[in-house]
Structures are given as structure tokens and as C-alpha cells.
A and B are shown apart, each in its own frame.
Chain A
Amino acid sequence: MTAGSLRRPVFVCGLGETGAVPEDPRSIPEMVLAAVQAAYRDAGCTQADVDAVVTASVDLLDGLTASNIAITEVVDAVMKPETRIAADGLAAALHAAAQIAAGSYDTVLVVAHCKASMADYQALTRWALDPIYLQPLGVDFLACAGLQAMALAEDDPGAERRWAQIAAARRSCGSSAFSGLCDVDRILVSPLVAAPLRAGMCAPLGDAACAVVLTAQAPARSAAIAVRMAGLGWDLERHSLGDRHLRSWDGLKRAFERACGTAGIEPTAGGFELAEPSCLYPHEEELFARATGIDAATPLSPEGGLFPGTAPIVAGLSRLAAAARRMRQGRAERALAHGAWGPAGQGQAVAVLEARA
């Protein structure tokens, strides 16, 4: 067997989410416990069925070194193997799938959490940037997204209105605990937050926890549609924006090609009946389309994606959950879930999901 294909199948068998809200009054362990219990209920399993745990969290956002320490008990990692992937939650799910494919564990719980309400998220993202050349400039992930949007808008006078339309359209098809704008004209006069991005264009960030149970065995319930993680791909782009092609997400293109390679399919839009991209800003949907070829011709974020509101770290894993839910309803046979982290999408993660009745 050559590198690039999974040695064992991996199925998505349990989904649990708190849903994103501007400020969740619960503690992080309470939120995580709610998501984990929901995932167990959905999978029809208990903690005793889980062999290992992969968590996703970032210490600086939690204000706690080894931030998984606060949730060790509620994810039931006591006396179990746990791995923390300090990136987007979808990346944690991809690693968990690799653990199962390796034959090391049969069932793995994946958990992502973040409470953006506890601190100024964008201010903290400055501490991820090169402290010699970038951090002194005072830029954060939002400013980096603005610079990328500016590069795209340079010779495209219609871009801003189009982006406002994307944000409004996505937001109006999803229910949300956030008060986001759904009116294009109001979005276009909302405050500039990182020119040309306006407040009304951005996905609002809040608190959420998400849990997914992955397993080597297809779910036993005969009526259920099994969702398989058929393709896995991730990528790290160069750090400095000056070293990248800002008008494309080359990292996503590579991650997409790897994921399709694992799944044994051509890296083209054809064959995908659903895509759940992790786009915090509308110009990122266009970058997503350029990288994957998946555009409006394919059902994209039918519940609004991240635009109704999301939480950092949780975003990508919630996309996996959203896609899998829809596939279980028989509404897509092949879907793509996407996660991203870092400045202007430096880190990229892709899962190709396939449904089997």
C-alpha cells in the first residue's frame, strides 16, 4: 500500500454541539461536557466505548497552560490516551482519523472549545505573529484578512457589494444568537474594521464547544446512513503575507488535493453535493472557490456557515458536524468540510465525507 491512502475506514458516528453564542454563562468544562454528552447520545455510546481523546484548544485564548487540563475529566481522558492539537478543531478530527486508520484505537472522541467572550480574541492573535517582523506592526488576524481582501478588491470594483451580499445571504439562511446584519445596504455602511472589510461582513465570534465521535466500525443502526471520513488533507502555508500569493489560498488547494487523493477521487468540484467551508469573511468564500473549484453551483453552507456566528477553534469541527448531519438526512452523498487557522488562512484542513446507506 502506498502512502496517501487510509489503512482502515473511519466513520463519523456521534455529533454534539452547544451552538455558538456571544457569551455562554457556563464555564469551559460545563460547555464541553454538554457537547460531549450530546455526542455520546447521538452515537448511542458511552464513555466506556471511547478508546482515546483528541482535543483542540489554544492556551493563550483560555489563559491556561496545557488548556486541556481543565477538561480532562469532562472529556473522560482520565487514564486514557489524550492528544491536544493546538489548531482548528477539524485538524484535531483529521489527526483522530489518522489514529484510527493506524489501527491504534477503534473509537476516538474529538472535542474543540473556545470562549472568545473571555478576552479580546484579535488582540491575542497578535501573539501568533512573527515577533521580530510582524508583531511590532500591531497587526492581528483581522488585519491580515483585511490585507488579503484588499489584494482581491484592488481591480475589482464590485467586490465590496458582492461580499456584502454573500454575508447577508448566508446570515439570512441560518438561525443565530448573534445580532448580525442581513441587509446589504446596511452592511455596506457598517464600520470599516480592516479595510475593505466592514463589521457587517465578518462572522461574529463567541463561545462554543463541539464534540464528534469517530470510529472504525460503521454505525450498526440499520436505518442510519453511515458517514465516512474518506479523505484527509491539511497544510501549513508560509507565515509572512509578503511570501504568499495573497489572491489565492494555495494551502487550501494543496490540502484539498491531498484529501481527494486519500479518498481516491479527482480534486475537482464535480461529485461534491455539499460544501461546508470555514469562512469568517466573504472574500474567503471566493478564495475557497478558487482553491477547490467548488462554487455556488454546489450547495454551499446551507445553514449559513460561520456567518451567523461561530467560535475560533470550534469553527472547522462544527463544519464537519454540519456536513455530516445533512448527509445523514440523505441530502448529500459526498461533502467537503473545511477548517482554517492562522493569519489569512495560513493553516488549512479538509475532510472529504462520503455517505453510505
Chain B
Amino acid sequence: MNPVAVIGTGQTRHARARDDASQPDLVREAAARAIEDAGIRARDIDAVVIANMELFEGRAWPELWVGEAAFAAGKPCLKVATGGTSGTSGCIAGFHQVASGLFDIVLVVGFEKHSEGHTQTGMTLTDPYWDRAVASGAVGNFALSVSQYMADRGVTELQAALVAVKARRNAVRNPHAHLQMPGITVEEVLASRLLAHPLRLLDMCPQSDGACAIVVAAGERARKLHPRPAWVRAAATRHEQPYIGDIDRRLVTMRTLRDAAREAYADAGIREPLKELDVAEIYEPVSYAELAWYEALGFCAEGEAGRLIEDGVTEMDGELPVNPSGGVLSTNPVGASGVIRVAEAALQIHGRGGARQVEGARTALATGYGVYAWADVIVLADRP
């Protein structure tokens, strides 16, 4: 891919219900902040990509309504929708459109307003004949996958609770994060309501209202516009078939994320991700998933994810801070969640992470997870 970089990011205040803002209001809030952050004007934008899962709001073609709020009126605008990976796929679509030579600057905006729909109904997407009765929605599916993962790798509830606590403690440093739970303890996580064994309420991500935007620019423009562009070193996507019984131990294997990471690391010249990455923003919809992703992303050997979190390797002061933003476990407007991962990773390269900045971050990872193990892996760095 030809050189492209992220030169601006913007996100809304995320909350359970943003009753003060309509869907276009949320989109405008994030888009305007990204444009301001990039130091450009709305008229500098050549094209817009929108990411959103429209059935969560019970809508169709949502870009038709919210496009003007994304400064897209009279401009090329397309909507990307691939479940949880919508945001990262939207960002990758923006990278491709810039790298194609068609545009110099593309704005990518992801949004979701879960409070105006019914997310669990929207997530009834398993095959109606084979899988729907046993696993629909996020909780049922993850309960099955996580049980297999625990049995296979010996991961404990306590280790998952450590992930849940890390995310919420990091979120306290992030003014945009939805869940603000200072002082949250492992005991609280382990005592929280059991949703479906082994998943407890505080193991799960919330549903949030919010939007996030990034500004993507072509090589020369990026250099002119930003003192420290976050260059896209790699972007890889893998999709998976949907039937539960047809994937051997989905969360354990996670072959999509594994394969996408292998490609992205090769493209970015990364051999030892734990050492060579400075920060990671990974899409962990449930505490246990973060542990599984440590293995799939090559942060540790198989079966060692529990030790990684116990040793504090992925804490803010660890060798590889994972999700300084608080992650999806703290903020989850689905269509925006992937864009947030990329924006937070870019923010670290820009050196503008504020209280959640990882000192000297030069190489950052962002991932997306969606539907049934669909995966995006993106590597950003301070050099093209």
C-alpha cells in the first residue's frame, strides 16, 4: 500500500445514553474535533467513510441522514458495516481510498447510538436453523467460547477479573471513556452478577452512545500537515464462517486474528511484538477475550496469557501497555469502537495521549473484532 497516515483524531463524550445529542449531533461532535485536531478545514476533506451497524438503531442507509453532519454533503461518501470490525474496516477503507491516488484527505467517522435501539435484538444474527436457539447475542456466544478457552488453557476467573480491573482503572485517565469506576477491585468483578457462566457483568463491555473520527492523509500532505503523523505500516483483515460447530474452539484458535497479525507484522517488519510494539489498543469485548488475544497476537506463548496479566506486563507501567484508553470494556459504541482503537493508537504516536500517554510510543497496534471472529489488525508508527 502507498504511504498514508492518520493526522487527526476526535471523539465524543461516550455515555450509556447521550440524550442531549441526536445521531447526527454525535457524528458532528467527533468529526469536528478530528478536523480541528488535524489543523485542517472541512473543505479540505476530499471524501468521507462512515462506519455504523444500522440495525442497532433500527435504520437503513444511515449515511443518508448523518452524512451532512460528517461534512460529506456534495462529497464522495460510503458506509462500511462489518459488525464489530466496522470501525477498523472503515479506517482501512479510508487508508485504501487515499492510497489509491483518488483522494488526498479522507475523514472516517464511526458512530453508534445504542440507547435508540435494542442491541441484543440487533445481534440475533446466528443462523436461524442451526445456531440461533443456543447462541445469540454477545453474552451467549462468548459464554460458550470462553468456557472452551478456560478448559483448554487453564485461564482463571481471577485472571479475567484482573483484565476487567485494568481496563476500568485505565479508563479513569481517559476523559472520553464511558465507564468511570475509580477504585474498582477484583473482588467487585468476581462478585458482580453472573450473566452466563463464566461471564459476569463486569467481564463484559458496556453499550455506549458515541462517535469517533480520524483524518487520513496521503504521504506528502501528511508530512506538510502534521509534525508527527501516525503512518500506516500495515492493515490486514480476515473474515470467518459463522457456524459455531464448524470452528474448532473459536476463541482458543482465533485463526483470523492470528493470521491477520502474522501478515501485519510481516508487512511492518515486526518479529517480536511484545518487544517491538510500544502500545496496543485491542478490541476486547469481554475480559477473557483480551487474554485470548494476547496469545493470538503473539504477545506470549499459548497458555501464558494468565501469567502476562498477573505479572503486570500489559499494565500502563508494563513492557507493553494494552488499552491505555480503557478499551472496549470501558467504552463501546459498536460502529465507533474500532475507530476508537485506531484513534487511540494514533494519539499515542502523535504524543497527545495526555494522562494515558505511553512515554516515547513509536509503534502502536490497533485491532478490531466483529461478528464471528472477524479480525482487523493495523500497525501504526512514527515513520512510514
Query: Interface on A for B, CB 8 Å cutoff?
Result: 1, 3-7, 52-53, 58-61, 64-66, 68-70, 72-73, 77-87, 91, 95, 97-104, 124-125, 127-132, 232-239, 250-251, 254-255, 258, 262, 341-343, 346-347
Q: Is B295 an interface residue (CB 8 A)?
A: no
Q: Do A101 and B101 form a contact, CB below 8 Å, given A87-B79, A132-B22?
A: yes
* Main DSSP-derived SS at the A contact region: mixed
Return the CB mask of B118-154 against A: 1 if under 8 Å, else 0.
0000111100000000000000000000000000000
Return the CB mask of B76-91 against A: 1 if under 8 Å, else 0.
1111111100000100
A1 to B125, CA, bound (A): 44
Contact A7 B100 (CB under 8 A): yes
Q: How far is the CB of A197 from chain B (nearest CB, A)?
A: 21
A6 to B80, CA, bound (A): 21
Contact B100 A6 (CB under 8 A): yes
Q: Is B17 an interface residue (CB 8 A)?
A: no
Instruction: Give B2-27 interface residues, CB cut-off 8 Å to A.
Output: 2, 22
* CB-defined contacts of B53 to chain A, threshold 8 Å: 59, 65-66
Closest to B23 in A: A131
Q: Is B237 an interface residue (CB 8 A)?
A: yes
Which one, A86, A102, A131, A239, contacts B54 given CB within 8 A? A86
Closest to B59 in A: A127
* CB-defined contacts of B191 to chain A, threshold 8 Å: none
Which one, A77, A97, A127, A239, contacts B67 given CB within 8 A? A239
* Main DSSP-derived SS at the B contact region: mixed
Contact B125 A64 (CB under 8 A): yes
A97 to B61, CA, bound (A): 22
Contact B73 A238 (CB under 8 A): yes
Contact A102 B236 (CB under 8 A): no
Contact B101 A1 (CB under 8 A): yes
- Say which one of B238-246, B282-290, B351-359 lies at the interface with A: B238-246
Q: Do A66 and B65 form a contact, CB below 8 Å, given A81-B238, A103-B99?
A: no
* CB-defined contacts of A72 to chain B, threshold 8 Å: 239-242
Contact B55 A60 (CB under 8 A): yes
Contact A233 B76 (CB under 8 A): yes
Contact A84 B93 (CB under 8 A): no
Q: How far is the CB of B377 from chain A (nearest CB, A)?
A: 11
A59 to B56, CA, bound (A): 10
Contact B22 A236 (CB under 8 A): no
Chain B interface size band reads 35 or more
Instruction: Give B21-65 interface residues, CB cut-off 8 Å to A.
Output: 22, 46, 48, 53-56, 58-65
Q: Is B102 an interface residue (CB 8 A)?
A: yes
Q: How far is the CB of B243 from chain A (nearest CB, A)?
A: 9
Query: Interface on B for A, CB 8 Å cutoff?
Result: 1-2, 22, 46, 48, 53-56, 58-65, 67-68, 72-83, 89, 92-93, 95-104, 122-125, 218, 235-242, 255-256, 259, 370-372, 374
Closest to B93 in A: A83
- CB-based closest 6 A-B pairs: A102-B99, A81-B237, A101-B100, A236-B77, A60-B60, A98-B100
Given contacts A52-B237, A83-B80, 7 further A-B contacts (CB under 8 A): A1-B101, A7-B101, A73-B241, A78-B241, A84-B89, A237-B74, A347-B61
Contact B74 A235 (CB under 8 A): yes
* CB-defined contacts of A86 to chain B, threshold 8 Å: 54, 61, 63, 79-81
Q: How far is the CB of A124 from chain B (nearest CB, A)?
A: 6
Contact B101 A95 (CB under 8 A): no
Closest to A348 in B: B76
Contact A61 B64 (CB under 8 A): no
Q: How far is the CB of B371 from chain A (nearest CB, A)?
A: 5
Q: Do A104 and B1 form a contact, CB below 8 Å, given A7-B100, A99-B100?
A: yes
* CB-defined contacts of B235 to chain A, threshold 8 Å: 104
Q: How far is the CB of A351 from chain B (nearest CB, A)?
A: 13
A64 to B58, CA, bound (A): 11
Q: How far is the CB of A110 from chain B (nearest CB, A)?
A: 13
Contact B256 A341 (CB under 8 A): no
* CB-defined contacts of A6 to chain B, threshold 8 Å: 100-102
* CB-defined contacts of A103 to chain B, threshold 8 Å: 1-2, 99
Q: Do A83 and B73 form a contact, CB below 8 Å, given A6-B102, A78-B241, A102-B2?
A: no
Contact B80 A236 (CB under 8 A): no
* CB-defined contacts of A124 to chain B, threshold 8 Å: 60
Closest to B79 in A: A86
Closest to B64 in A: A342
Contact A82 B76 (CB under 8 A): no
A16 to B54, CA, bound (A): 29
* CB-defined contacts of B97 to chain A, threshold 8 Å: 95, 98, 102
Q: How far is the CB of A267 from chain B (nearest CB, A)?
A: 15
Q: How far is the CB of B245 from chain A (nearest CB, A)?
A: 14
Q: Do A79 and B99 form a contact, CB below 8 Å, given A60-B54, A87-B61?
A: no
